[in-house]
Amino acid sequence: MNRSGKILGKSSPFKLVDEMLKGSVRALSRLITLIEDETPGSSEVLKRIYYHSGNAYVVGLTGAPGTGKSTLMDHVAIELKRQGFKIGIIAIDPSSPFTGGAFLGDRLRMTETLNEDDIYIRSMSTRGNLGGLSVATKNVIKILDAFGKDFILIETVGTGQAEVDVMKETETTIVVSVPGLGDEIQIMKAGVMEIGDIFVVNKADKNGADRLVEEIETIFRMGFRSEEWVPPIMKTVATKREGVTALVEKILNHREYLIGKGLLRTKRMNRIQQEILEMVNAKIINEIIIPIREPYIVSEKLLDDIVLRRKDPYSVTEEIVDNIIEAFQRSPKGVNQIGK
Amino acid sequence: MVKQKKKVRVLIGKLGLDGHDRGAKIISRALRDAGMEVVYTGLKKTPKDIARIAIEEDVNLIGISILSGAHETLLPELCQLLKENEADDIKVIAGGIIPKDDVPPLKQLGVEAVFGPGTKTEEIVQFIKTVIQ
């Protein structure tokens, strides 16, 4: 038991941070688990890591299931590495709403990157989160950043129309589409089709690829002013590695554009503001609201009344909130005493 | 009230030249349904590939399906690589076609358990839950 492996596997969070900053992949992996599991002490770890992060550029890849995101990611990572960058990949797949289990199969497609030094891949499940990412994703980005990655590539779950969280965490968002999924009306819909900084038509060797490019082009040209970044539409055949170099060039162009216009900093400030708001909300709900709300939880009798239309849910909600506010005003300092 | 968010993470993979992955997929599905996160590597991986993936993914346990007869070479190699990378706290179990006589030497070299044909998936789930405590 005194071999260093055993020690590193079970060592303290701060020891792991030190080892990770020295370049230990094992420590990096252990830390990611710690953060993902929200193990006690993980917020202290994040505080420490934050000061070592801030250098990585984050790219998101999203699109419907089966559009070729993982395969494309594999080749994009190889191309970026060829240009001398260090890469971290986070690949997200859905968790089961019934058991919480998950089948993480993105790595299966990432065969080129498998044995490349300087490319680290981590599969994550959404752990019940909607929106295309997991709650821990933003913190795992910071760990990979602190580890020294230049580019962090995030592959979302296979998305439908509304999973747009990826744009909140990334600096360049790539939306992948393939021919045969629907007509131009689908492209006009709000949501995922709006968030791309770059659009990719993958499987471009299939029928209908040119038409899809034209349709996206027509619809997008309607909305952009000329001085803004106009999202390019790139054709790729990921399995044959076609179009990948051009795509990587566009990613780098977009990064230069954001830096040149001073937009990268604004983007990062907005993101951190959003992140702080979310953390404050979560803390208030978990540490203040839930304990106060406890005594007012709706009883089975009351639920029965509501279902049988003897009462309505809107009045009940108002009563609960009124009670909480009243209790809070009675005892603003002793929050834990409220409701007792 | 602290919510328990810890998840069991398992790697399921195929070692060597062996194209039969039905068993691996059935096990993956059973573990998923038992609430675990299963990282599936796909076919024809080397011991080096599996060790690397297991470390990056920080799994608790590696499950190897092997039907090619190369278990005596590939499984000890995997265990050795885990040791060299200070990751031998990650447990290794195997399934597939492995003769009974080969099991004791494999266990001596670091394989935690071997599950032959006909094993109930519940048995494997239970074993994993117990062994990674």
A339: confidence class by pLDDT, cuts 50, 70, 90: very low
A266 falls within a domain: no
Is a pLDDT exceeding 50 seen at residue A59?
A: yes
Range of the domain at A155: 53-261
A105: confidence class by pLDDT, cuts 50, 70, 90: confident
Three-state DSSP class for A281?
helix
Residue A277 and residue A253 in one domain: no
A153 falls within a domain: yes
- Cβ pairs A/B, distance under 8 A: 99
List the CATH number of the domain containing A123. Answer: 3.40.50.300
B96: confidence class by pLDDT, cuts 50, 70, 90: confident
pTM: 0.87
Q: Does B36 touch chain A (CB under 8 A)?
A: yes
Residue A221 and residue A186 in one domain: yes
Residue A219 and residue A111 in one domain: yes
Range in A45-54, A102-111, A256-265 with the lowest mean pLDDT? A102-111
A267 falls within a domain: no
Residue A89 and residue A125 in one domain: yes
Residue A89 and residue A24 in one domain: no
Percent of chain A residues topping a pLDDT of 70: 89
Residue A229 and residue A286 in one domain: no
Nearest CA to A236 out of A325, A175, A290 is that of A175
Is a pLDDT exceeding 70 seen at residue B67?
A: yes
Asked whether the beta carbons of B64 and B49 are under 8 A apart, the reply is: no
State the Cα torsion A279-A282-A288-A292 to the nearest 10°: 170
A135: distance to nearest CA of chain B, Å?
12
Residue A122 and residue A6 in one domain: no
Range in A9-13, A109-113, A171-175, B34-38 with the lowest mean pLDDT? A9-13
Q: What is the predicted ipTM?
A: 0.89
A210 falls within a domain: yes
Check residue A3 and give its pLDDT: 36
Interface of A with B (CB under 8 A): 3-6, 8-10, 25-26, 29-30, 32-33, 36-40, 95-96, 99-105, 107-108, 114-115, 120-123, 125, 127
In whole angstroms, what is the distance from residue A77 CA to residue B17 CA?
A: 27
A205 falls within a domain: yes
Residue A124 and residue A231 in one domain: yes
Residue A22 and residue A78 in one domain: no
Q: How far is CA A3 from CA A113, B10, B34, B83, B87, in A?
A: 31, 23, 33, 10, 10
**Token duo for residue A13:** 């969070």
Looking at A11, A27, A52, which one is the last position of a domain? A52
3-state helix, strand, coil in chain A (%, to 5): 50, 15, 35
**Token duo for residue A265:** 């900093």
Looking at A261, A288, A303, which one is the last position of a domain? A261
Tens-place pLDDT, residues A186-213: 666 666 777 889 999 999 999 989 988 9
How many of the other CB atoms lie within 10 Å of CB of B86? Answer: 17
In whole angstroms, what is the distance from residue A162 CA to residue B128 CA?
A: 37
Asked whether the beta carbons of A181 and A202 are under 8 A apart, the reply is: no
Helix A42-50 vs helix A25-36: crossing angle, to nearest 10: 130
Is a pLDDT exceeding 60 seen at residue A216?
A: yes
Range in A119-123, A336-340, B95-99 with the lowest mean pLDDT? A336-340
A288 falls within a domain: yes
For B92, the enclosing helix (H) or strand (E) is strand B91-96
Residue A42 and residue A70 in one domain: no
Q: How far is CA A263 from CA A38, A171, A273, in A?
A: 32, 10, 15
Residue A291 and residue A257 in one domain: no
Is a pLDDT exceeding 90 seen at residue A250?
A: yes
Mean pLDDT of A246-263: 96
Please, which residues have CB within 8 angstroms of residue B84's CB and are 6 or more apart in sequence?
A: none
Question: Which residues of chain B lie closer than 8 angstroms to A25, CB-CB?
Answer: 55-56
Question: Which residues of chain B lie closer than 8 angstroms to A126, CB-CB?
Answer: none
CA atoms within 13 A on the CB side of A272: 8
Residue A160 and residue A226 in one domain: yes
Tens-place pLDDT, residues B14-66: 998 888 888 899 999 999 999 999 999 988 889 999 999 999 999 999 999 98
Looking at A237, A261, A285, which one is the last position of a domain? A261
Is a pLDDT exceeding 60 seen at residue A4?
A: no
Domains of chain A: total:
3
